[in-house]
Structure 1
Amino acid sequence: MALPSLSLGLDAVLTGRPALLAPGVTSAMGKVPVAGPVRIGWLGLEGDTVADPVHHGGHDKAVHLVPQEHYGWWREAIGSHDLLTRPGAFGENLATRGATEVDLCLGDRFELGTSLLEISHGRQPCSKLNHRFGRNDVLAKAVASGRCGLYLRVLREGDVQAGEPMTLVARPHPDWPVARIFALLIGGGHKRDPAGVAALARMPVLAEAWRGRAEALAR
């Protein structure tokens, strides 16, 4: 199959550090755009840290991407909100345009600046989304819609900058868009496609945490 021509626009590159999100809740979800070049290392963007290293960060979660196409849907779903007026509402490192989880596949490789990134899995949202937006329904809407973004691992360190193209250079698994994987492993669709879940459990490119989940669901 020929490699599709796909280049994502990069609205912003964002980093953040842990801060109090709500009483007793600390998160680094409050990320802000960085001007100029930013270094991407094996574990993510320079200057970006996580509050909960048990559940966040690491090689499989080095970079978090959220398609900015989702913002319009969110404004319809929950109404106007200050967080939805600019990139970073969902704690993303890369605010992109040009494709969503329906179009982006597991194992897709992208050149961005001098770096090389690979899609490792989708994002499994947590209750901190509710705290961030000050509503108790954001997490549920994120899971139900699958509009959660995705994670990339770093295959080649490099420098990136907002405004640069993020260009697809390899697509080894065109049958596995992130939306399909999310629906099977997080959205409750595993009973409808047990063969698909079993296949995911055997795919080394899938992040270890989600591969373990696929193994458990396939039993």
Structure 2
Amino acid sequence: MQITSINVGLPQIITYQGKELTTGIYKTPVSSSLFVSKIQMDGDGQADLTVHGGVDKAICVYPEEHYAYWESLRGHKLEAATFGENLTIRGLQEHEVHIGDTFAIDEVIVQVSQPRQPCHKLAKRMDWPEATLYVQETGYTGYYFRVLKEGFIAPDSKMKLVARDEAGVTVAFANHIKYHDKVNREAIKRVLTVDALSDSWKQSFRKRLAELEA
């Protein structure tokens, strides 16, 4: 596991197809250490707090390995933090990490809380209307960390696994049940055994399960 970039940015107003839009998806790599709180990194912010940010989505993570796929599909090189991620990480893709896994990044302790759900602002960021759907279909979504212990991190910070979640539900598995195998009741129940799963995803899966069992 290696952090290849730490990225932050405050919300800004952009114009897309003649309309103004406030978004926090534009992030810039930093070269110095910064403080990580329970809700965000210093210098970072989200525009719509009803669906972004908060304790369950304090840090957005995206695997560096996926960039080559998107660049080949789009036919050009992508800018750093194109997916609005705070951490670009190598060696920790969706099929390799479990919801509830805990990691130490120097003095900061983080825990995987849920897959990332791309919104329409990613499509606008990439000027690619189908971007959100493609991300969901591929499962190359990235994921979120909640912060269990605050502290400072830097671009050269070392990252190590502290504990694996005993349920063993990968981000990739949760994505598959969310977007593809939607009526698999046993799989939904398995996802719901993960105590560390974010409240919003628990509510979503509980609602779906209730509808299937009605």
**TM-score, structure 1 length as denominator?**
0.90
Matched, 1:189 2:185: no
Q: CA–CA distance in 2 between the matches of 1:195 and 1:174? A: 14
- Aligned equivalent of 2:64: 68
Contact 1:120–1:151 under 8 Å retained in 2: yes
- Aligned equivalent of 2:29: 33
Contact 1:17–1:48 under 8 Å retained in 2: yes
- For structure 1, the 5+ residue unaligned runs are 1-7
Q: CA–CA distance in 1 between the matches of 2:36 and 2:99? A: 20
Q: CA–CA distance in 2 between the matches of 1:144 and 1:24? A: 28
- Aligned equivalent of 1:213: 204
Q: CA deviation at 1:24?
A: 2.7
Contact 1:68–1:87 under 8 Å retained in 2: no
Q: CA deviation at 1:99?
A: 2.0
Contact 2:99–2:114 under 8 Å retained in 1: yes
The share of aligned pairs that are identical, in percent, is 29
Letter in 2 for 1:42: K
- Aligned equivalent of 1:119: 112
Matched, 1:199 2:195: no
Distance of aligned partners of 1:132 and 1:175 in 2 relative to their CA distance in 1, 3 Å threshold: same
Letter in 1 for 2:192: A
Contact 2:109–2:147 under 8 Å retained in 1: yes
Distance of aligned partners of 1:125 and 1:93 in 2 relative to their CA distance in 1, 3 Å threshold: same
Q: CA deviation at 1:189?
A: 1.3
- Aligned equivalent of 2:138: 145
Letter in 1 for 2:25: M
Q: CA deviation at 1:133?
A: 0.8
- Aligned equivalent of 2:127: 134
Matched, 1:89 2:82: yes
CA RMSD of aligned residues (A): 1.3
After superposition, residues 172-183 of structure 1 pair within 5 angstroms as 172-173=165-166, 175-183=168-176
- Structure 2 residue matching 1:20: 3-state secondary structure: strand
Q: CA deviation at 1:90?
A: 0.4
Q: How many residues get paired? A: 207
Superimposed CA distance per residue, residues 90-136 of structure 1 (whole angstroms, 9 cap, x where no aligned partner):
00000110120010111110000210000000001111111101121
- Aligned equivalent of 1:17: 10
Letter in 2 for 1:103: E
**TM-score, structure 2 length as denominator?**
0.92
Q: CA deviation at 1:174?
A: 5.7
- Structure 1 residue matching 2:175: 3-state secondary structure: helix
Q: CA deviation at 1:145?
A: 0.4
- Structure 1 residue matching 2:152: 3-state secondary structure: strand
Q: CA–CA distance in 2 between the matches of 1:202 and 1:218? A: 13
- Structure 2 residue matching 1:44: 3-state secondary structure: coil
Q: CA–CA distance in 2 between the matches of 1:173 and 1:63? A: 22
